[in-house]
Amino acid sequence: MKYEVIVELKDEVLDTQGRAIQQTLHRLGHEALGSVKVSKRFVLEVSGDEAQGLALVQKLAAEHLANTVAETFSCRKL
């Protein structure tokens, strides 16, 4: 089964890429554009049942895919 992990910066952490993208798009005249937040998406294929798979994915996300000093993550089965 496939699982998705989304990793994003905590709100209080400066998102330099998001800021640069936002500023550029704004400069192109898209004045309605507020903020832009960049995240990372991982798709993991894991064998076994869903409960076990999701548990493993959550463990991998917490320990490796995200650095929880500055990032949060969410996991779901696709």
Partner 1 sequence: MTRASSAGNPRVALVQFPGSNCDADCIDAFKRLFSIDLQLVWHENHELPAVDGVILPGGFSYGDYLRGGALASCSKIMPAIKAFANKGGAILGICNGFQVLTESHLLPGILMKNAGQKFICEYANLKVVAGSSVYHKSLSGKTLRVPIAHGEGRFYVPDAELKKLQDKGQILFQYADAKGQVTDESNPNGATAHIAGIVSENGKILGMMPHPERASDPLLGSADGKLILEAFLATLV
Residues forming the site for partner 1 (CB under 8 A): 12-14, 16-17, 20, 64-65, 67, 69-70
Which residue, 27 or 32, has its beta carbon nearer to partner 1? Answer: 27
Q: How many CB atoms lie within 10 A of CB 8?
A: 19
Q: Considering the complex, what minimum distance in angstroms separates the CB of residue 48 from partner 1?
A: 22
Q: Which amino acid is at 20?
A: A
Which residue, 67 or 74, has its beta carbon nearer to partner 1? Answer: 67
Q: Are 65 and 54 in contact (CB under 8 A)?
A: no
Q: Which two tokens stand for residue 14?
A: 């400066």
Q: Considering the complex, what minimum distance in angstroms separates the CB of residue 20 from partner 1?
A: 6
Instruction: Please provide the size of the chain in residues.
Output: 78
